[in-house]
Amino acid sequence: MRIGEKILELRTARDMSQQTFAEELSVSRELVSKWENGTRRPDYRTVERIAGLFGVPVETLADRTSLFQSELADCFAGFPAESGQNLVELLNSFLRNQRAKCADIFLKRYYFQKTVSEISDEYGIGENHVRSILSKTRKRLKSYLEVHYGR
């Protein structure tokens, strides 16, 4: 079961509206709707808060690794499984050519699996800034892989 479906199931089992749920998490009702219909996924920290709100283990909703992998899925979509080693080499090459801060933040997120909040605290920058850096780096990675892998 996808995380959005599980959120919907837990929310409706408690007879909670999207609006009430959104207010409990200090997010918009529209964002809750996107989670439930699968167009967006909450980050790991938010998943922890959702699990706490419903009194269920985080693993009921999703595991940490799958959340991080889903953020990168678009970058690697269409690559055959047997191209793994080549992709590792391309990823390493890509990261060597990035600004140090961007590469470090990328590695902290996807290799060390730190939350956006943890990275934000470590660098003394806002969470939205961290998300922006990650988003832009993922877009550059996707373009880099398309050019160098020949998709």
pLDDT in tens, 7-22: 999 999 999 999 999 9
Helices (H) and strands (E) in the chain, counts: 9, 0
Identify the pLDDT of residue 83. 64
Identify the pLDDT of residue 88. 83
Angle at 6 between CA 27 and CA 56, to 5 degrees: 85
Alpha carbon distance 33, 19 (integer Å): 10
Angle at 103 between CA 97 and CA 106, to 5 degrees: 140
Tens digits of residue pLDDT in 125-141: 998 999 999 999 999 99
Alpha carbon distance 6, 109 (integer Å): 24
> Hey, what amino acid is at 111?
Y
Identify the pLDDT of residue 48. 83
Identify the pLDDT of residue 84. 66
Q: Does residue 38 surpass a pLDDT of 70?
A: yes
Identify the pLDDT of residue 86. 77
Alpha carbon distance 145, 25 (integer Å): 36
Which structural domains are found in the chain, ordered by start? 3-60 (1.10.260.40), 64-149 (1.10.10.10)
Tens digits of residue pLDDT in 51-92: 999 999 888 888 777 777 778 888 887 777 666 667 888 889
Rounded average pLDDT over 99-108: 96
How far is C-alpha 43 from the geometric centre of its chain's CA atoms?
A: 5
User: How many other C-beta atoms lie within 10 A of the C-beta of residue 47?
Assistant: 24
Angstrom CA distances, 65 to 5, 18, 24, 111, stand at: 18, 27, 26, 10
